[in-house]
Amino acid sequence: MTEAIPFDLPGDDLFGLDNLPYGVFTTEEDPDRCRVGVRFGSHVLDAGAAAEAMGSAHAELLRQPVLNPLMAAGRPTWQAVRADLQNWLSDPQHRETVGGHLIPLTAVTMRLPFEVADYVDFYASEHHATNVGKIFRPDGDALTPNWKHLPIGYHGRAGTVVVSGTPVVRPQGQRKPKDAPMPVFGPSQRLDIEAEVAFVVGRASQTAARVDRADFAEHVFGVCLLNDWSARDLQAWEYVPLGPFLGKSFATSVSAWVTPLEALEQARTEPPARDVQPLPYLDDSGAKDGLDIRITVTLNGERVSEPPFSAMYWTAAQQLAHMTVNGASLRTGDLFASGTVSGPGQDQLGCLLELTAGKGPFLADGDEVTLTAWAPGPNGTRIGLGEVTGKIAPSPAG
């Protein structure tokens, strides 16, 4: 088995030594035992078994059924584990030991990699917010007065965050047809996607102890793609005067793989120029807190958009600072997402609402949406983010 393992990956492999994202998997032979895995090319390393075979001090953390214990251990441990993994997979003297714990991707089933504590979603793209504002408020200002002063967000539902590949059942709820005097109940007719990038919190914080923007890397374990499925007709009827509720809470899909924040060091970039000076706790002047992540959205196998994450107005570090500035604490497993990623071009829009100027068509039963992405890595390499796929299943009501 060892000889068949491609330890020397081609330079263009998106999941090489500079990446090594974490996930959780089961096998057909042992379907009830969840194991921490590390993606390496077209294989998954059983991280706990490999750590035990190598006599690693981190074996216990890596033998857990979810990533949360590793995430809670903090940045020095994250860095030490990552260094061990890179050594085990690159040093020829370890190949015989480690090779026996590499499993083909085709032989595993990926699970939700961490227990989600809380879920927060932001609205951080100026292009997206402007486009949506023009659709919803054609005679008014596209951006609300507060938009350039703070990262706007809402609290979602952690219990309906699902792993990539999970079917998305068309939600039911109240919607009010344009010319109808009263709302009706039934399946959503305007089901949409939102292509997003999400951040997974590892190290917790204390209540009333806010997290400074500069401490982002001490608390955030990693990054993954996210699709915030949205029922636009349910949302339009319910969200005034509060915020998203049933139009969002039925399902949020995340990648099975969490890319370590450290793997994206070469992708750091300055955010777009801002025309409003942020308050001091959000001020990131001169900092490279943005990330150059290139997303591709496909619908039934056809590319429909390529949203650039580097165009986001508010960075994840600012979002984290704002999320905790009132004293709200972080918990291991907190998930916060960027909001729809959109760029200035028609081929860079991250949702069907924008792509069709609100007119549709929206998602039909049987449609399958996939998000993929990559970011610049060291020495001209590319770092892949695990894909997010969801297929629309019909509502039980129709």
- Read off the pLDDT of residues 267-276 as tens digits, 9 standing for 90 and up: 999 999 999 9
Residue 242 pLDDT class (50, 70, 90 cuts): confident
The tokens describing 356, both together, are 């069709």
pLDDT digit string, tens, across residues 154-171: 999 999 999 999 999 999
To which residue do tokens 């998930």 refer?
335
Name the catalytic one among 43, 101, 127, 128: 128
Q: How confident is the model at residue 397 (pLDDT cuts 50, 70, 90)?
A: low
Predicted confidence at residue 136, as pLDDT, reads: 86
Instruction: Say if residue 6's pLDDT is above 80.
Output: no
- How does residue 398 score in pLDDT terms, banded at 50, 70 and 90? low
Tokens in use for 253?
């899909």
Residue whose tokens read 């770092």: 383
Q: Using omega within 30 degrees of 0 as the cis cutoff, is the peptide bond preceding 394 cis?
A: no
Q: What is the pLDDT of residues 51-99, one digit of tens each?
A: 999 999 999 999 999 999 999 999 999 999 999 999 999 999 999 999 9
Residue 51: per-residue pLDDT: 98
The reported pLDDT for the residue numbered 308 is 98
CA gap 197, 267 in Å, rounded: 14
Instruction: Of 342, 352, 374, 344, give the one whose Cα is nearest residue 299.
Output: 352
Q: Are 104 and 318 in contact (CB under 8 A)?
A: no
d(CA 80, CA 73): 11
What integer pLDDT is reported at residue 5 of this predicted model? 65
Name the helix (H) or strand (E) containing 79: helix 75-90
Phi and psi at residue 168, in whole multiples of 5°?
-110, 110
Looking at every residue in the chain, the average pLDDT score rounds to: 96
Mean pLDDT of 139-152: 95
**Residue 127 falls in the annotated catalytic set:** no
Tell me: pLDDT of 387 over 50: yes
Q: Confidence class of residue 240 from pLDDT cuts 50, 70 and 90?
A: confident
Where does the pLDDT of residue 293 fall: very low under 50, low under 70, confident under 90, or very high at 90 and above? very high
Selection from 300, 223, 232, 297 nearest residue 254 by Cα: 223
